[in-house]
Amino acid sequence: MLRMRNDEQIAEAAHSVEEITVNTGGAVVAEAGDGLPFPRRAWAIVAVSFGTALFVLDGTVANVALPSIARDLGVEEGVAVNVVTLYQLVMVMTLLPFSNLGERFGLRRIYQIGQVIFMAASAMVMLAHSLPLLLALRVAQALGAGMALSVTSAMIRQIYPRAKLGSGLGINSVIVASSSALAPVLGGFIVAHFDWRWIFVSAVPFAIISLLIGRFLPEPHADGGRFDWRSGLWSAASFALIVGGIEIAAHGGQLVAGIAASVAGLLSALLLARRERTHQSPVFPVDLLAKPTIAWSAMAAVAGFVGSAALIVALPFRLQQEMGFSPEQAGLLILPFPLTMLVVAPAAGWLSDRVSPSVLGMVGMAIALVGLLFVAFTPIHAAAFTIAWRLSLCALGFGLFFSPNARMLVGNSPRQRAAAAGGLLATSRLFGQTLGAAGVGVLLTVSTGKGDAPMIFGIVFVVLAALCSLARWLIVERAPEAA
């Protein structure tokens, strides 16, 4: 008995040493033997990068084709928007359950199964000649994308040494930003020269490349536990009510019904969280949210993405309908935002391995606040350069915030719960983007969405993100044992 107890203590101590993070101005002591060795690490980074580009492109490229889809399928443009919103809804519903599934059956296995499902659904889009079939295939695409994206951050943590995790997340942010910049250009070219269905197939080569070199990804270790299907379906239903209610209230003209659905979803999520508290690896990550550092990081992520979405969604309306630019000109004028993010995101990730991510987040949100104020009060007849530097200033602020904040959320989770942390991060991002778009939609409905109101709306959430970063900094600095 005494020997067994000693063995248990040794094992527990080894596990504790593995998870220890030393926060000294943001510096981190690397875990022994963590990360993949070169050159395998380089190939794994390429595989994840192509996979990330695949799903970011597909999530945004369809926006350009909505008028063509509506005209070709004989439906109203408002109905055609479901091609985008349904995809986003299914993604938000499935990220947490799929991340838990990844822990059970292996991250790489779930990631690659998702890519295969996505490719199959994309190929079948070429046969879609009705909106119901197209929507069904978009659901299938979202299921595949949700499986892959739910475990992406966890695999990045396995690929990079812990001391370089911020740099890895920064590189991933570059892929997201560059893919976002490429999507409207690629979508516009395809719609102008080919059948609109090709936009859903355009990113498939990225999946093929990612799968071909996928053997370099971390081995698909699984814990062998049973997946809690009840909690998984409960979580999906809760987010369906919350996000669906927001969409109905903002765009469906059913304000009361939308609010009622969202409130029902929140109550359902609270009941699920109460049930999950007794589980060792819960689908709804209440164990992670019990950690102040992760909880504040998740709230900061939601608020930050609401702020950035308010800018990105509202800006095309203002540029075209208030300032008189053509759609092509508006697209070019928005480019400084993702292009600046291309430079800032990796630098911020690199800095977050050396400087307090919370301090970087507060500085970034302060810069973003100033940038949004400049955008809010941009003159009606402003020159292109005047608009460009304002957007670059906003991108500088958001870029300094997102990668370090992601590093705090993913890096402070236990290694065996990295997939759950990645799913929480992805859910926070999509939920924040949905809230931001819905808020702008409401402002547009009441005829205040083309002026400075959306930027003020974004500023409110930027301030909330800064306050969350401040709270996290105080916890880490003054009571690090609580983090």
pLDDT in tens, the chain (483 residues): 434 444 444 344 444 333 333 343 343 434 444 778 888 888 988 888 888 888 877 777 777 777 788 888 888 766 777 787 788 889 889 999 999 898 888 889 999 999 999 999 998 999 988 999 999 999 999 999 999 988 888 888 888 887 788 777 777 777 877 777 677 777 777 877 888 888 888 878 888 998 999 888 888 776 667 888 899 999 999 999 998 888 887 766 677 888 899 999 999 999 999 998 888 889 899 999 989 899 999 999 999 999 998 888 788 778 877 888 876 677 778 888 888 888 888 888 888 888 888 999 999 999 999 999 999 998 888 888 999 999 999 999 999 999 899 888 888 888 888 888 888 998 898 888 888 877 887 777 666 656 788 899 999 999 999 999 999 988 876 665 555
Choose among 217, 212, 207: nearest CA to 52: 207
CB hemisphere CA count around 443 (13 angstroms): 24
Rounded to two decimals, what is the model's pTM? 0.79
CA atoms of 387 and 283, how far apart (whole Å): 44
- Cα–Cα distance for residue pair 472/362, rounded to 1 Å: 10
Question: pLDDT (tens digit, 9 = 90+) per residue, 138-181?
Answer: 999 999 999 998 888 888 888 888 778 877 777 777 787 777 76
Do 408 and 269 meet the contact criterion of CB atoms below 8 Å apart? no
282-483 CATH choice from 1.20.1250.20, 1.10.287.1770, 1.10.357.10, 1.20.1070.10: 1.20.1250.20
Instruction: Give the residue among 183, 187, 173, 168 at the shortest CA–CA distance from 395.
Output: 173
- Cα(1)–Cα(6) distance, rounded to whole angstroms? 9
Specify the length of the chain in residues.
483
Per-domain residue ranges of the chain: 34-219, 229-278, 282-483
Using alpha carbons, select from 169, 170, 152 the residue that is nearest to residue 115: 152
Please tell me the CATH superfamily of domain 34-219, with its number: MFS general substrate transporter like domains (1.20.1250.20)
282-483 matches 34-219 in CATH topology: yes
pLDDT at residue number 114 = 93
Main-chain dihedrals φ then ψ at residue 79, nearest 5 degrees: -70, -35
